[in-house]
Amino acid sequence: MSDHDPINDLSRFGDDFSTGTGGDMPLSAAAVRRRGDQIRRRRTALVAGASALAVAAVAVPIFAIAGGNPKADNHDDIADDKANSQSLSAEDLLRDADTEYSPNVETPWRTSETFEGDGQALYHPCQKQALSELGATNSFTRTFEFVPQLEPGDVAPPEAPRDRLVEQIAEFRSPAAARSAYDAFAQWVLDCEFPNADRTNVVPDARTVPVPSGTEAVIYDLNWTLEPEAEDPLGESGYINETGLVVQGDRIAVIAVTINGMDYNFLPEEGDTPVYRMIPRAAERLQPGTDQPSAATTTDPPQSNSAVGPAIADDYPLADGWPDADGGEVTLEGPNRTLTPFVLGACGDTLDDMPTPQDQLIAQWSQPEDFRSRQLSTYRNEGEAAAVLDGMVEAYRACPDEEPDQSGFTAHHAVRGADLGDESWMIVTTSTFEGSPAVGLEVLYVVRTGAAVLVITGSNEGGASSDPEGDVTRTAESMVQEARTVIDRLCVFSNDGC
Amino acid sequence: MEANEFDEFYAASFRRVTGQVYAMIGDFDEATECVQEAFARAWAHRRKLDRAEYPEAWVRTTAYRIAVSRWRRRKRGERSPDRAVGHSGIAPAVDESHVALVAALKRLPEAQRQALVLHHIADLPVQQVAAEVGVPEGTIKARLSRGRVALAALLADETGLAGGGMSHV
């Protein structure tokens, strides 16, 4: 028998790590909290985080999307491949090299199967009908498996047969039929109840993805847990799925990643999720053959930022009043016309039917625990601007309570009157967890003067203190005080001038 | 949990939990990163953590699950997206006397290794180990007994400890 006493060895090991000899803490507690705030903000941010979370579907040249992507060079062959793909074919599916998992890292996805038609099963957990039953005249499916890269000496990890990527593409008789199928698939996801799951959670607000002109794309996030809640109260052992839907003319694509585990945590500021990164490729692949404008010749200008009608002066003081950006962690962007427009709305209403602004200027200021932004939009006339304001307010007024998100947090919106410009409102968003106030406060001011609408956002860690109403008051007063010059200058858009 | 309370919790628990996760997965750098990530999630979920009877157990369990998930899918040495707060140039500072122990632990079945770590390194009573692992107390006692015998034999035969990687299976 051994001379070693394993109990003593184990105890000494534990003692050494308890007394601090086990290595330095690589990060400060503040840095860890900032990381936690990023994770929480991703979950709870609605308006204030819109520029990072949900990118408006602004039409941009397709190569502008590919620009800066480290894998873009690997996809220069797409246009060439398309020459051989007039009708929908397997060539229109993603290949291994198109797939994504960790940013800037070789993809672990490897093609498992590729086949034409409906196949023997439904390939999405929420899918209720085969693509042909949705009206598809032709379809193709490719499944990918996750292949970990092992090094000599590594022990093979546990199998995870449910970790997979699936892309389905389909062609329909008309764009209207494709749109109908796209909408039907979205509804299946929203209504999803995973078979045998103890609970299934679907985030009702889809994330939008920037795609070429003529294409629309959204992503739905969902998860399900097979273990009863009593055994896994936080749902940490569940399955995570993100499903991307693309519609382009008479074609659609459905791209779904399903992962079992806790490490599917791709933040927007770190490159965003795998499906988010794959959708532009899938949209490019989905384009019909050479009789269509090629990606290289697509030169549609951005639609929503074109400056006609009541133009905003380039030197409009939109960023005035914010603290100086000379602190190490403060970031100021804008004012400019290239920042992503806000995505406003509540309970799934994203105000897509609003008139397009004639001109728009955006600025944003952020530090790890504080995000502020301003968006100034002008419209054809005062009536149109007033209608936009009404639409914004009504969307929140009609939705005092969002559905709980996948982590169990519920956002609540309250609309209050304000006394700024020609007319204004303050929208306060707080959240609760199991009925108790949760950390995170967002205040949104919408102000109209003449034909201009100014939106001011602010978010911070308030909302769950001993004085939540005081948090709201202090945040709102601070926002107005900071933005006083910006608000006063709105007079240039009124009929009477300043 | 307020920021100052979290900071104290982090300072008091980080090294201890890192040691425990290191003993469970056999990779010090990976343990460090997973524990960091678990603490970040603890802060993100701090209202849940306020209700947790044993916050440190929550962090430990979360870190271990993160490690298992990451191991299943990630090539060793690659930077992953959820390592946004990843360390840079830290010295593992692992005592050489622990290397053989960790190498031996890596060769044990996961269930035995987990029981030994939680009971003898985390110093949890058998009842709490059983609750954390989710099995009856008798099962934990059996795993501890078998694990101690196997570990003693492995420590006595250090020539058999070369090679091997993480062994979550």
Whether B16 and A18 lie within 8 Å, measured CB to CB: yes
Yes or no: say if B7 and B150 are a contact pair by the CB < 8 Å rule.
no
**For residue A150, what is the nearest residue in chain B, using CA coordinates?**
B75
**For residue B33, what is the nearest residue in chain A, using CA coordinates?**
A26
Which of B43, B68, B151 lies at the smallest CB-CB distance from A32?
B43
Spell out the SS3 assignment of chain A: CCCCCHHHHHHHHHHHHHCCCCCCCCCCHHHHHHHHHHHHHHHHCCCCCHHHHCCCCCCCCHHHHHCCCCCHHHHCHHHHHHCCCCCCCHHHCCCHHHCCCCCCCCCCEEEEEEEECCCCCCCCCCCCCCHHHHCCCEEEEEEEEECCCCCCCCCCCCCCCCCEEEEEEEECCCHHHHHHHHHHHHHHHHCCCCCCCCEEEECCCCEECCCCCCEEEEEEEEEEECCCCCCCCCCCCCEEEEEEEEEECCEEEEEEEEEECCCCCCCHHHCCCHHHHHHHHHHHHHCCCCCCCCHHHCCCCCCCCCCCCCCCCCCCCCCCCCCCCCCCCCEEEEEECCCCCCCCCECCECCCCCCCCCEEEEEEEEECCEEEEEEEEECCCHHHHHHHHHHHHHHHHCCCECCCCCCCEEEEEEEEECCCCCEEEEEEEEEEECCEEEEEEEEEEEEEECCEEEEEEEEECCCCCCCHHHHHHHHHHHHHHHCHHHHHHHHHHCCCCC
Q: Per-residue pLDDT for B165 more than 70? A: no
Size of the A and B interface in Cβ pairs below 8 Å: 231
Q: Which of residues 34-53 of B touch A (CB under 8 A)?
A: 36-37, 39-48
Q: Going along chain B, which residue ranges are E strands?
A: none
Measure the CA dihedral A5/A9/A12/A16, to 10°.
170
- Tell me how far apart the alpha carbons of residues B33 and B88 are, in angstroms, rounded to a whole number: 11
A344 to chain B nearest CA, in Å?
A: 24
**For residue B115, what is the nearest residue in chain A, using CA coordinates?**
A10
Whether A105 and B79 lie within 8 Å, measured CB to CB: yes
Q: What is the C-alpha end-to-end distance of chain B, expressed in Å?
A: 35
Which phi and psi angles does A201 have, rounded to 5°? -120, 130
Yes or no: say if B61 and B132 are a contact pair by the CB < 8 Å rule.
yes
A108 contact residues in B (CB cutoff 8 A)? 73, 75
Average pLDDT over residues B25-43: 87
**For residue A465, what is the nearest residue in chain B, using CA coordinates?**
B2
Neighbours of A392 (CB within 10 A): 24
Query: Does B10 reach chain A within 8 Å, measured CB to CB?
Result: yes
**For residue B39, what is the nearest residue in chain A, using CA coordinates?**
A32
Yes or no: say if A445 and A425 are a contact pair by the CB < 8 Å rule.
yes
Query: When comparing pLDDT for A259 and B80, which is higher?
Result: A259
Average pLDDT over residues B107-123: 88
- Tell me how far apart the alpha carbons of residues A406 and B153 are, in angstroms, rounded to a whole number: 47
pTM of the model: 0.42
User: What's the confidence (pLDDT) of residue A325?
Assistant: 60
Residue B18, both tokens: 């890192």
Measure the CA dihedral B91/B92/B95/B97, to 10°.
-140
- Tell me how far apart the alpha carbons of residues B7 and A29 are, in angstroms, rounded to a whole number: 5
Q: What ipTM did this prediction achieve?
A: 0.75
**For residue B7, what is the nearest residue in chain A, using CA coordinates?**
A29
Neighbours of A71 (CB within 10 A): 17
A158 contact residues in B (CB cutoff 8 A)? 68, 72, 168-169
Measure the CA dihedral B79/A20/B66/A106, to 10°.
10
A433 contact residues in B (CB cutoff 8 A)? 47-48
Whether A9 and B155 lie within 8 Å, measured CB to CB: yes
A236 contact residues in B (CB cutoff 8 A)? 62, 65
B22 to chain A nearest CA, in Å?
A: 10
User: What's the confidence (pLDDT) of residue A257?
Assistant: 93
Which of B28, B43, B72 lies at the smallest CB-CB distance from A33?
B43
User: What's the confidence (pLDDT) of residue B108?
Assistant: 86
Mutate to test the interface with A, among B69, B97, B102 (most CBs of A within 10 A): B69
Query: Does B79 reach chain A within 8 Å, measured CB to CB?
Result: yes
User: What's the confidence (pLDDT) of residue A19?
Assistant: 67
Whether A29 and B11 lie within 8 Å, measured CB to CB: yes
**For residue A147, what is the nearest residue in chain B, using CA coordinates?**
B73
For residue A10, what are the CA distances in angstroms to A224, A341, A398, A447?
Answer: 38, 57, 60, 65
- Going residue by residue through chain A (498 aa), what tens digit of pLDDT does each one get? 445 678 888 888 888 777 655 556 677 888 888 877 766 654 443 223 332 222 222 222 222 222 223 233 344 444 444 444 468 999 999 999 899 988 777 788 888 888 888 876 788 889 988 899 999 999 999 999 887 665 555 545 545 556 789 999 999 999 999 999 999 999 999 998 877 777 787 888 888 888 877 899 999 988 887 777 666 555 555 788 899 999 999 999 999 998 876 667 677 766 788 999 999 999 999 988 633 333 333 323 323 332 234 788 888 899 999 887 655 567 788 898 888 788 788 887 777 667 888 889 999 887 766 778 899 999 888 888 888 888 888 888 888 888 877 666 788 889 888 889 888 999 998 888 777 777 778 889 999 998 899 999 887 777 666 777 888 888 889 899 999 999 999 988 887 778
Query: Does B31 reach chain A within 8 Å, measured CB to CB?
Result: no
User: What's the confidence (pLDDT) of residue A481?
Assistant: 92
A35 to chain B nearest CA, in Å?
A: 6
Whether A14 and B120 lie within 8 Å, measured CB to CB: yes
Whether B75 and A34 lie within 8 Å, measured CB to CB: no
Contacts of A219 (CB under 8 A, 6+ apart): A206, A207, A208, A209, A242, A243, A244, A245, A273, A275, A276, A279
